[in-house]
Structure formats: structure tokens, C-alpha cells
Structure 1
Amino acid sequence: MRSSIDLEIRPETEAAPATIVDGTVFRINSGNYHVQTEEHGVVICKLRGNLKKELVYSTSGSRAKRVDSAKKRRDTDPIAVGEHVRIDPDLAMIEEILPRRTEIARESPSQRGQHTLVANLDHLFVACAAKEPQPDPWLLDRFLVMAESADITASIVVNKIDLVDSGEEESLRLRMAVYERAGYRIWYVSARENIGIDDLRAELRDKISAFAGPSGVGKSRMINALCPGLDLRVGDIGYITYKGRHTTTSAELIPLEEGKAGWVADTPGLRQLEFWQVDKEDIQYCFPEFKPYLGECRFADCRHLDELGCAICAARDEGKIDERRYRSFVELSTL
């Protein structure tokens, strides 16, 4: 018999390393983050506490990186739909938020910074109607400038093309041609009659896309047509609500087709995007037709407001830049 001091010493068993997988946040609801992963399908996660705070790391080169301090909790959710994250599927916990490629944001309700509506957005479709209501080019310019400022590809979708006759359609296409000359692709569709929807759906495939525009242009009906079986409720003024468990206060990426790549973003804030995050000095870069003339003005600090030797104004006078689009630039840059 062994004595009490003659005990067998066994090596400690190392804990199995956590399994970390990548995923995309496609729905946020009441602090729950629905993450789509390749390995585990959908995992409903919580956010690790330190990711809710602004961490200040050491900058000393003589010691390992560590947190020196943690500022107060963020005023807005640090995660948006479209976010690429790393999660621990066993703990259902988001461990890391990966860097964003793009984002669409608005001012937070507390007015202490920005609230990101959609992260990693590939394509913003700015929606208007051929009729009922008539297209508002000034509002259209506003949405396009926001997309340009966020470095997001933008296109224009003209819905309700079935409501206009051939003469009205010809006039509409002439008015919209200024955007084609600026480099924007225009889609003429009818969600009600399923005109042009298949081609538009093909454009959305393998991307995170979103629709923005004023009420009444048929955004909800277009999303219904693009995503069969979704059944979003269509309101009299184009306001979207979800049946059953969904509400207009929750953000979500809607799968384009079951089992196929592609998402359509729907968040309440995308319906009325504020202009707050665009610097006035940068608006000149948000009109694609201006780009050949930027840097050609006589004075480096030219504001393009009819200053002497302004290349933008000269191009306008020569008909190379549309007069109305130029006036839209002036309005936006002098707000």
C-alpha cells in the first residue's frame, strides 16, 4: 500500500480551445444578434461585454498589448446588420467585430455620434416612382451624394413604370438621362406587374444591397417581388411593417432566395437618411460628372460658385455638366 506521500502525479488536462467561426449579422432584435455561418447555420448570439465599451490599449513598445482603460458604454449599438464577426458558437457569443468595408449611418438619437444602419453594404438602390408620386430629382441627388460619400455603388430604380403611357415614359427617360450620363445605371421596373424584376434580382445576387427613397415609391412591394414568399405588408404610403414577429424597429438582412447568396437590407432609418455625415468640402467629389474637372480650376481653394477661372462652372456653361445638377450641388454645399 502506498503511503500518503507516495501519490501518483498526473499531468493536468488542457482545456479544449474554443472554436471560433466567422459569420454575418443579418438580424438584430432586443440585444440578440442573429449570425449566419457556413459551419453552424444560424447562431443567435450575445455581445461580449468588452465590445460594448471603448477600450484604450497601451501604446508602449516595451510591453505586450493590453487594455489600459475602458471608457463608458457606447451610446449606440456597436454592431449593425451586415457586420462581419467572429463568434464562439458553443457559448453563442460574439468575440470580435471585423473591420467594415463600407457603412451607411445616421445621427444617433442621443446626438453623440453616429448610428450605423448597415455595414459592408455593396450596392444602394435609390428608388423613385415613374408616377404617383412624381420623381423628385432634388431628393434623388441627396441619396446619391450619400452613397458616393460612403464609397458605395449606387443605382436608380424607377418603379411603377406600368402607370405611364409610351409618351410619358419617353419624357421620363429623357429626364433621367442626365443620371445615365453621370454614370448611374437606371432600372425601369414594375413590382406590381413583375416587369424588370428578374434582371434586378440578378444584379443583387452575391451582394448586400439596400433600397432607399421616399415614401410611396413602392420599396416594400419591390422587396416582396425580389424575395418571393417574404410577404412584407404594403402600406398606403409605402411604409414597411412585418407581420407576426417582425416590427419596423428591428434591422434585418433579408435573404434574396432560399439557399442562395444575396441579401437585401431593410432598416427603418434607410427610409429617411439624414445628410449629417457628409462634409461640405467633400460634396464636390460626390457628383461623378464633376470629376474630370476637379483640380483644373484657377484657384486651389475654388468652391465652384462662379469664381473666376472655375473649371466646373465653365463645363456647366458649355453644357458638359447639367444645369439642374449643378444647382443641386450648390444647394447641398451651402446648407
Structure 2
Amino acid sequence: MPNGLIMKALAGYYYVYDKGTIIQCRARGVFRKQKRSPLVGDHVEYQAENTTDGYIMDIQERSNELVRPPIANVDQAFLLFSVKEPDFSAALLDRFLVHIERQEILPIIIVTKMDLLTDDEKETIQSFVSLYEKIGYQVRYTSSKVELDFSELTPLIKDKVTVIAGQSGVGKSSLLNLLKPGMNLETNEISSHLGRGKHTTRHVELIEIEQGLIADTPGFSSLDFEQMEQEDLRFYFPEFVEAMDECKFRGCLHDKEPGCGVKRGLEEGEIQQSRYTNYLQFLEEVKSQKRRY
């Protein structure tokens, strides 16, 4: 039975790529009974008499999957955060990082619209973002007026499946247009009333760029902590993991417990206050969601 990769899902059809050919497929009814759905990024077995009338017969095991946007087998995520229009949000960045870390996807932070800042503002934002580099995250800076250096991105994209995430209006479609000239994806200005951009992509699709695949998605529409256990959240902050060995209690949540290695790291300046504050906020969200059930 032939194998292929789902490149696009639209209106109940799955577009499977196999050796240079796209086969339009439907999913077998058995998936519905099993409460399974094929996702963009899935490696599948299919049957087809022609390129417009195929059926997905089986889905191979996934390395990971995201719910919204619905996509599977992602290697890395470009997390786009603008410095203005919309303003940079460390709380939202940390929220994205938790979700990406949870799926064991490599995050790469891309700070956009640097040309909108004064020199002093640039120094401030770079000083703050450098704290993420110290944790171990990769960071790139871009401008809406100066084209990104392809020599930096090409090795990152090659042979990888990359998802682009971030607030609406931070430049996701602009980046895709830059990476693959001629796509002419729709981009929208920031809404002055809402203070955020408008979604311009309405389905999930993998696009072949620079010998890799990049997902054009409608964006992350869900960043809550459903299905997450409070004991697991701490493992999605890499700098906390390093400090855990110093905790007095094995199940320390780094909140009110005495002898906490993370709080000691905070006092000694090894863990940044904003990250710890966001962690406590996320922890309370996880706890409150469990109380509602």
C-alpha cells in the first residue's frame, strides 16, 4: 500500500503528497469510530485509483501533535513576537514556550519589527530577550524594512517541519512571503480598535521552502492548560529543571514549599523574575481548571 504525507486539509479532504504527486483523499469512516482524525503532517497509507478519489487507510505513529492548529510531527516552531504593533509580551511568549516544550518541539524565538524602535528601546528589548538566550533558546531579530538574512534561516529550515506561531499581526504571512517569493499571502494591518491583527490564513497547509516544510496555519487559537497536570508544568521551564536537584522535596512545585532550589535560584539571580511570575500564574490556571472539573 502506498505511503504519503498530508500536506493540506480543507473541507473534509486531505491532500497527500507522494513522490511528486498530490492525491486528494477522504478519511475512512473507521477513524471517526476510533475518534481519530488525520492531521496535516501525518504520514499515512492510502488507496487511490486516481489523483482525485483516494482514501486514507492508516495513520503512522506521531512524534507529537498540536490541537489548535491541528498539525502533527512538527520538528520546530518559529515563535514570532513583534516589539510594537502589537507590543512585545513576555507572558504570552512564556505561554507559547510551555506549549511548545510540552510537545518536545524545538522553539526558535524571532523578534520582529525591530525597525519601529528607537536605539534606546532596541537596547532594552535586546537586553531582556538575551535572558532567553542564557536559558538556551535560539533568538533571531528581524525588521519589517530589511530582509531577513537567508543564510541564517536556511540551515534551520532544511529537512525540518516548522510551524510558525505568534500573535496575529506580528508578521507571520510577511515572513512566509519573504521565505518563498511569489506566494503573495494576504497580510493585514493591525486593527486600531482591537489592537491586534486579523487572521489571514484559514486552513493548515505545509509549504515546501528551502528543502524543508513550513506550516501556514490560522495561528494558535488555544493556549490554555487543559489536559496539563500541575506536577508537569515545572518541567517546561528548562532553567527550573536545572535547579530542581536542590529542592528539599521531590515533588516541589516551587510555590510555597520550603527549601526550594528554584526560589533559591531566583534570589541569586540565576532565574529571572518575570519567568517565575509567569510560572506561578500558569500554575494557578492549571489548578483552577482542575477544580472546575
**TM-score of the aligned structures, taking structure 1 as reference length:** 0.77
Between the aligned partners of 2:200 and 2:225, the Cα distance in structure 1 is 25
Which stretches in structure 2 are left out of the alignment for 5+ residues? 191-196, 286-293
Between the aligned partners of 1:119 and 1:215, the Cα distance in structure 2 is 22
Residue 92 in 1 paired to residue 54 in 2?
Answer: yes
**Structure 2 counterpart of 1:104, from 37, 46, 66:** 66
Structure 1 runs of 4+ off > 6 angstroms? none
Match of 2:215 in 1: 265
**Structure 2 counterpart of 1:44, from 21, 24, 38:** 24
Between the aligned partners of 2:107 and 2:200, the Cα distance in structure 1 is 25
Q: After alignment, is 93-102 or 303-312 more displaced? A: 303-312
Residue 168 in 1 paired to residue 110 in 2?
Answer: no
Between the aligned partners of 2:221 and 2:111, the Cα distance in structure 1 is 16
Encode CA deviations 1:1-39: one digit per residue, 9 max, x unaligned.
xxxxxxxxxxxxxxxxxxx2221101111111101112x
Match of 2:277 in 1: 327
C-alpha change, 1:159 and 1:178, in structure 2 (3 Å) is: same
Match of 1:83 in 2: 42
Select the structure of larger CA radius of gyration. Answer: 1
Partners of 1:24 and 1:83 within 8 A in 2: yes
Partners of 1:190 and 1:197 within 8 A in 2: no
Q: What letter matches 1:241 in structure 2? A: T
Partners of 1:213 and 1:272 within 8 A in 2: no
Between the aligned partners of 1:308 and 1:252, the Cα distance in structure 2 is 48
**Structure 1 counterpart of 2:236, from 272, 286, 290:** 286
C-alpha change, 1:181 and 1:41, in structure 2 (3 Å) is: same
Partners of 1:215 and 1:271 within 8 A in 2: no
Match of 1:13 in 2: none
Compute the displacement of 1:145 (Å).
Answer: 0.4
Q: What letter matches 2:91 in structure 1? A: W
Q: What letter matches 2:156 in structure 1? A: E
Compute the displacement of 1:142 (Å).
Answer: 0.2
Encode CA deviations 1:46-102: one digit per residue, 9 max, x unaligned.
212222221xxxxxxxxxxxxxxxxxxx3xx61111111111233622111000001
C-alpha change, 1:223 and 1:239, in structure 2 (3 Å) is: farther
Q: Percent identity?
A: 35
Match of 1:110 in 2: none
Partners of 1:80 and 1:119 within 8 A in 2: yes
Match of 1:32 in 2: 13
3-state secondary structure, aligned to 2:246: coil
Compute the displacement of 1:287 (Å).
Answer: 0.4
| TM-align CA RMSD | 1.9
Match of 2:183 in 1: 230
3-state secondary structure, aligned to 1:254: strand
Partners of 2:112 and 2:144 within 8 A in 1: yes
Match of 1:241 in 2: 200
Residue 210 in 1 paired to residue 163 in 2?
Answer: yes
Q: What letter matches 1:32 in structure 2? A: Y
**TM-score of the aligned structures, taking structure 2 as reference length:** 0.87
Compute the displacement of 1:162 (Å).
Answer: 2.1
Name whichever structure is richer in helix by fraction. Answer: 2
